[in-house]
Amino acid sequence: MFTYYLCVFAKSIKVKVALSIINSKSLSRKKINQLLEKSGLTVGEDSAVTTPFFCEFGRVSIGNNVYINASCVFLDNANIRIGDNSLVGPHVTLSTANHPCEPSKRHASVISSPITIGKNVWLGAGVVVLPGVTIGDNSVIAANSVVKGNVPENVLFAGAPAIFKRNI
């Protein structure tokens, strides 16, 4: 068990060092992607991550031709996958981490569930996606929405909590 935690800690340090460099310097898209990949993230062809950007463990897979705008926070205790041709607006939070509601258990454990963003998805500015959510292909999540449940393909969701608005 100690070895497992040591490996997780080492990976987290590697990610933090890469992000420190990326977020403090003016680097090309190619250099940013190389540093992200060296720290464990998967970044597809023609994808761009605008700084500042934050993740913790490098459990992020970014498809081809994806654009991630500035000031995004990916809490990647579990895997986060973003499909090809997707757009992630500024100040978006993808959080795979949660805690028990009971006060006595809250500090003792983290409950993690993966997030999957389909292909051709657009997450507007300030969107929050909670643990365990899957967003279907071609869907749009309006700015400042909070997504707490799965979203089907080809729909517009908006609000807090995000609800169905119309088909696309």
Residues 121, 82: Cα–Cα separation, whole Å: 9
Pairing of strands 140-141, 115-117: unpaired
Q: What is the DSSP string of 57-79?
A: S--EEE-TT-EE-TTEEEE-SS-
Catalytically annotated residues: 99
In the numeric block, the tokens 């643990």 are attached to 131
Residues 156, 62: Cα–Cα separation, whole Å: 22
3-class DSSP assignment, residue 149: coil
